[in-house]
Amino acid sequence: EVHLVESGGGLVKPGGSLRLSCEGSGFTFRNAWMSWVRQAPGKGLEWVGRIKSKFDGGTADYAVPVKGRFTISRDDSKNMVYLQMNSLRTEDTAVYYCAKMSSSFFDYWGQGTLVTVSP
């Protein structure tokens, strides 16, 4: 059974940094493309970024609102994917979900971790 567990959320001041982690199990992690998706309070889903498997190049791509501030990385030896968030803004406040990808969709999701950016 596939499991994704996020951690690392919390309260941070504007301009601060936070690193989220996601541990995957129940699938061949090194072969999976992984994404982060966020949801601001009371709002819809927003794709944040994706990292390809190392076999497919291991590169990451980002949504426009976070490009240059957020970085996705992976450690296949630990079945982990990370989201490093710098220069955080109040509008980054959201629940952040880690999601396993299958082709062009998200087939499994973690339970999410809340990030609150507030003075």
Site residues, other proteins (CB under 8 A): 35, 37, 44-47, 50, 61, 63-64, 97, 102-112
Beta carbon nearer to other proteins, 29 or 33: 33
Please tell me the chain's helix, strand, coil percentages from 3-state DSSP, rounded to the nearest 5. Answer: 10, 55, 40
User: Quick count: other Cβ atoms within 10 Å of Cβ 93?
Assistant: 17
Choose between 16 and 45: whose C-beta lies nearer to other proteins: 45
Q: How far is the CB of 54 from other proteins (least distance, A)?
A: 18
Spatial CB neighbours of 5, under 8 Å, sequence gap ≥ 6: 22, 23, 110, 111
Helices (H), 52-107: none
State in angstroms the smallest separation of the CB of 7 from other proteins.
15
Of the two residues 28 and 111, which places its CB atom closer to other proteins in the complex? 111
